[in-house]
Amino acid sequence: MKQIKNKISALDKAKQIIRQQGGVIRTTHAIQAGIHPRTLYQLRDDDQLEQLSRGVYRLTEQAAVSDPDMVIVATRIPKAVNCLVSALSFHEMTTQIPHTVSIALQRGSDTPRLEYPPISIHRFSKEALLTGITVHQIDNVPVRIYSPEKTLADCFKFRNKIGMDVVLEALKLYKTRKEFKSGEILKYARICRVEKIIRPYLEMIT
């Protein structure tokens, strides 16, 4: 009987730890927090944990994840920043439906391995990578996403990859749905070295 109580206590304690992590946890973080792998797998087998991706679990008692792809990427690749079409979609500045999660990583950094969801990696300089980051809580998980203004500058930088039609649509939707901050856009455009390219479009649209 004592052994059963200890087992139940271990399960309850594990669930409490996971709740404190926002309901989503990586296997490595669970072990570091004192959850035995056997306890973690028991919760999974009892349908109290749902596996979102390899090594990423969420409590089934939580509400359904609103954006599981972004949550998984943020959990598995915490240094990544959502960019380009993924950021445009989050900010409601595109009609495109992202088929991959577009993330920014520093040039020369290791390429992460992720079976799911599919990711599209874009390499940024250190300055371009670290500027314009905003952090949003999605299902209690901090997700790094570039601001609308930084995203526009990035889109002009990578216009040949995502298509100029996507870039111009984003600029149009930004004007109609956001507070137009041309100074912020130009600040990031200088960092991305596309100021001369983006300035005529800003002058035309304003």
**6: number of CA atoms within 13 Å, CB side?**
4
DSSP state of 93: -
Q: What is the DSSP letter of 193?
A: T
Q: Which residue in the block uniquely carries the two structure tokens 């390429």?
A: 111
Confidence of residue 12 (pLDDT cuts 50, 70, 90): confident
Sheet containing strand 49-53, strands side by side = 24-26, 56-59, 49-53
Over residues 30-89, the pLDDT tens digits come to 888 888 888 888 888 888 888 777 778 878 887 666 678 898 899 889 999 999 999 999
pLDDT at 147: 98
Buried b (16+ CB within 10 A) or exposed e, 60-94: eeeeebebbbbbbbbbbbeebbbbbbbbbbbbebb
